[in-house]
Amino acid sequence: MSLTRTELFVDGHWRKSSDGSTFEVVNPANGARLQAVSDATAEDVRDACQAAASAFAAYRKTTVKERTAILHKIRDLLLESKKEIGEILCLENGKPLAEAEGEVGFAASFFDWFGAECRRAYGQHIPPPAGDRQLVTVKQPCGVAAIITPWNFPIGMLARKTAAALAAGCSVVIKPAEDTPLTALAFAAVCERAGLPRGLVNVVPCSRGRVAELGRLLCAEPLVRLLSFTGSTAVGRLLYRDCADAVKRIHLELGGNAPFVVFDSAPLELTVRGALAAKFRNTGQTCVSTNRLFVQAGIYDRFVEALAEGMKKTLQVGDGMVAGNNQGPLINKRQLEKVQALVADAMAHGAQVVMGGRQPPQGGLFYEPTLLTSVSRQMRLYTEEIFGPVVAVYKFSTEEEVIQMANDTNMGLAGYFYTSDYQQSWRVAMALDYGLVGVNEALISTCEAPFGGFKHSGFGKEGGQQGLDDFMETKYICFGGLKL
């Protein structure tokens, strides 16, 4: 493939790691080796930070019109390369090819949005307290941004951060997840084709064994002014601590424990479609995936029956490169073992398996779409993020009860509920303690709206009008001694 790269992208050049080491990338659908990718060292990452700092010195002076042209060029090339990048993504991540290509389009949307939004990074005129002065604020780029991206949306999350950073006038050093570096390197190849200035975008993948060291380096590196991370809450806490010593700005988009609430008045067919989308997209491996499905007593039996029927009709397990398959493998053995352990714990505590609950005949990293009932708060999957194709259905009686249950978590990323009662729709939306709330809608992430959570799900917003804020500083200027 023309966009397949295996070397580091530093200062506009492709290069091997400083010690010549590599790590293997495998296809989770069949275990086949895809590529050996250069394994970045601390020296490589420092070089990338220096290159980004040098590029920033010139790039910060560009006009918004020039930045718009750059971002829209990347947008166009992503769309032109959607099939090729989608195939690379599918092979190393395992998600169905159609979803992978859709993610490339999703990534392009952020370059489209921020290419226009950078023209609206407005300052402010403040009415002065005295007649001989004028007070204004201006927005300026913060500097070099370190971006650490996850494996579950290897170009979607990269784009959401990078597009905002470039729109703000920042340069970036990207450390992609070790499971999915090829997609990030394909993005670097797109930036090379777009003719970006040297050092503006740098990509430094590394193996799992070097992740902790390079993460600490990015937190401590003085040239890096901001660190933006999407991943687990456990890793986010470590990065937060490491950034404290350098008093470095940090943006965290962490784990979730999303509730999906079905009230008695919910339209059944629409709600089942929403539950399938919220739970089984990317085989349940998304931070906004439904984790706990609460169904009111009056509709419970009908909903469980309809959901099971919908799962049987629409979910097909298999290699994402094969047409018709929409449930790919889990990303690696650790994730498979976690899902198996959560289901085993639930069954040991009395959960009933309506369907699934085991690996399909093809084995490997695949796991059957699973529906559990008779679940309780004592089970691990009530408090732990599942990150797999397992849906647990809880029964509730009253609105007050389910709001308490939905908010009974230290996470606060996304929540969903379905109702036909418009009074209830506003009341419950305001009561849910989540950064994102979907009312009668499960697919709510879009470039035009802010994305970010509450509590242990992190802080900061990506996308929307707020998306530039993390990558910009507000400077106040007082002009004194004026004769008006």
> Is a pLDDT exceeding 80 seen at residue 14?
yes
pTM: 0.96
- Residues of the chain above pLDDT 70, percent: 100
pLDDT at 243: 97
Q: Which is the catalytic residue, given 287, 368, 385, 447? A: 287
253 noted as active-site residue: yes
Map out the domains of the chain as residue ranges. Answer: 8-254+457-477, 258-446
Region 403-409 average pLDDT? 97
Region 442-457 average pLDDT? 97
pLDDT at 311: 98
> Is a pLDDT exceeding 80 seen at residue 1?
no
Cα 83 to Cα 7, 76, 182, distances in angstroms: 22, 13, 15
List pLDDT tens digits, range 177-219: 999 999 999 999 999 999 999 999 999 999 999 999 999 999 9
Which superfamily, per CATH, for 8-254+457-477? Aldehyde Dehydrogenase; Chain A, domain 1 (3.40.605.10)
pLDDT-derived band at 484 (thresholds 50, 70, 90) equals confident
Region 243-257 average pLDDT? 95
pLDDT at 315: 98
Domain spanning 258-446, CATH architecture: 3-Layer(aba) Sandwich (3.40)
pLDDT-derived band at 72 (thresholds 50, 70, 90) equals very high
Q: Which is the catalytic residue, given 253, 368, 385, 462? A: 253
287 noted as active-site residue: yes
d(CA 347, CA 19): 49
Pairing mode, strands 290-296 and 352-355? unpaired
Residue 399 contacts residue 263 (beta carbons within 8 Å):
yes
List pLDDT tens digits, range 225-242: 999 999 999 999 999 999
List pLDDT tens digits, range 365-390: 999 999 999 999 999 999 999 999 99
Mean pLDDT, the chain, whole residue set? 97
List pLDDT tens digits, range 85-129: 999 999 999 999 999 999 999 999 999 999 999 999 999 999 999
List pLDDT tens digits, range 291-346: 999 999 999 999 999 999 999 999 999 999 999 999 999 999 999 999 999 999 99
